[in-house]
Amino acid sequence: MGVMRIGHASIKVMDMAVAVKHYENVIGMKVVHTDPNGNVYLKCWDEWDKYSLILSPSDRAGLNHVAYKVEHDADLDVLQQRIETYGSKTEMLPVATLPFVGRMLKFNLPSGHEMRLFQQKEVVGTDVGSTNPDPWPDGLKGAGAHWLDHCLLMCPLDPEKGINTVADNCKFMKEVLGFHLSEQAVVGPGGSIQIAAFLFCTTKPHDIAFVGAPTMGLHHVSFFLDSWADILKAGDVMAKNRVKIDVAPTRHGITRGETIYFFDPSGNRNETFAGLGYLAQPDRPVTTWTEDSIGRGIFYHHGEATESFTTVYT
């Protein structure tokens, strides 16, 4: 019983045609559906559910919601009761509120971000199929991302006012949804203030992450690649497509991932992420990054975060 993995992210874009071109030609996704409201649905080649990204027309960038898939439909009822007992309001959305999706449990995290849980989404299979598959399909575009891997959410943090929704989200995800903490960053006297939390429900170093900020927002959505070589190729693809790169190819200390950060045409930050880092298990000791080493945790090679990385988000 419980949450299995990330299902999709719904983000706002300001120019749909330009946004679709970016996610097709840079990330390597393909459009699978457009609804009457102009929302566009995309998937990566190695995903078997109908879609993992929804682009929603808007006058600003940012996150609509992030959705995670549960194992059994009955889990939605159990988790609804847990969430409401915890003190949060929920709404059970009917079948087909989103195309090709069954009923969804809608609620807000303590940080204010909208999250949804679902069990049923139309299964279309990966682009290589499930019988005698090749390792990758012909005709891949751009970086050829395998799947939507995770998202990082910026959460209101003001220790002087006693506000720390990073810690609040972490507690909620662990106690209510059954996630586990893999890594964290702490500051303050005796490391008493948790300013970043990385949590998992699979065996990856993280399936969602939270970082403290003045206001709520989306830091990035991340797409998985195989290797460091694929990260470098993705950088070439971005350069060819004149994509605005935030952080050039490097390695994280946190999660050990290899990464590039860049922006879609609306200003939503994307990441291409390679390397599973380590096997995340519930009994693995939590990795803690202390205040004097947070820079190395974020960007291991040069040991400090660029200003845009910590201040720019949607």
Catalytic residues: 150, 206, 220, 252, 261, 271
Query: What's the gap between Cα 200 and its chain centre?
Result: 11
What do you get for the CA distance between the two ends of the chain, in Å? 33
The answer to whether residues 143 and 28 touch, using CB atoms and an 8 Å cutoff, is yes
- Contact by Cβ (8 Å): 301, 251: yes
Q: Give the whole-angstrom CA distance, residue 38 versus residue 58.
A: 10
Write the single-letter amino acid at 107: F
Indicate the residue type of 242: R
The C-alpha atoms of residue 190 and residue 221 are separated, in whole angstroms, by: 32
* Cβ proximity of 268 and 314 under 8 Å: yes
- Other Cβ atoms less than 10 A from the Cβ of 81: the count is 11
* Cα–Cα separations (whole angstroms), residue 22 to 27, 57, 101, 134, 143: 7, 15, 25, 26, 11
- Return phi, psi of residue 248, to 5°: -70, 170
Q: What type of residue sits at position 1?
A: M
**Nearest by Cα to 170 from 160, 158, 161, 157:** 157
- For residue 45, which phi and psi values (nearest 5 degrees)? -65, -25
- CA-nearest of 11, 110, 114, 23 to 68 is 114
